[in-house]
Amino acid sequence: MNLNELADRYVAVWNERDSEKRKRQVAELWIPQGEHYVESRKVVGHDALELRIIESHNEFVRDAGNRFRAVPGARREGNVVAFYWEMLPANADTVLGKGLEFVVVSDAGKIVQDYQFYPA
């Protein structure tokens, strides 16, 4: 598994504008009962993950005109992959925010659990 590719694919789903592509990306990245944790919130399963991503996308990408990108240097320890991501304006490289992701992956490389820390 290429760790930076996993991070790039993870971030791409949060930027995706096309709902069918986003749905496909969620299914490709997470196991069917994949979990996502952010602050005190927990979502489980593809449908809930997709809704969580849509909420974030609408707030930060669609409405605020930003984009997300993965920071190179993803690392793995056992079945946990850690990487940073950044939020930037769509047409600039000024970092507006930064987050840290810890994802537990299956042997097949799909996300089982996803822990998001923002700001990092």
CA dihedral 24, 83, 63, 47 (to 10 degrees): 30
In this structure, of 4-8, 41-45, 90-94, 116-120, the range with the lowest mean pLDDT score is 116-120
Return the structure tokens found at 7: 């991070």
Question: What pLDDT shows up at residue 33?
Answer: 98
State the residue range of the domain holding 97.
3-117
Q: Is pLDDT above 90 for 78? A: yes
CB neighbours of residue 97 within 10 Å: 14
Neighbouring residues of 75: CB distance < 8 A, sequence distance ≥ 6: 3, 81, 82, 83
Q: Is the peptide bond before 119 cis (omega within 30 degrees of 0)?
A: yes
**What does pTM read for this prediction?**
0.94
CATH of the domain at 61: 3.10.450.50
Total number of domains in the chain = 1
Residue 54's pLDDT band (cuts 50, 70, 90): very high
Query: Would you say residue 120 has pLDDT above 70?
Result: no
pLDDT of residue 119: 84
d(CA 61, CA 38): 18
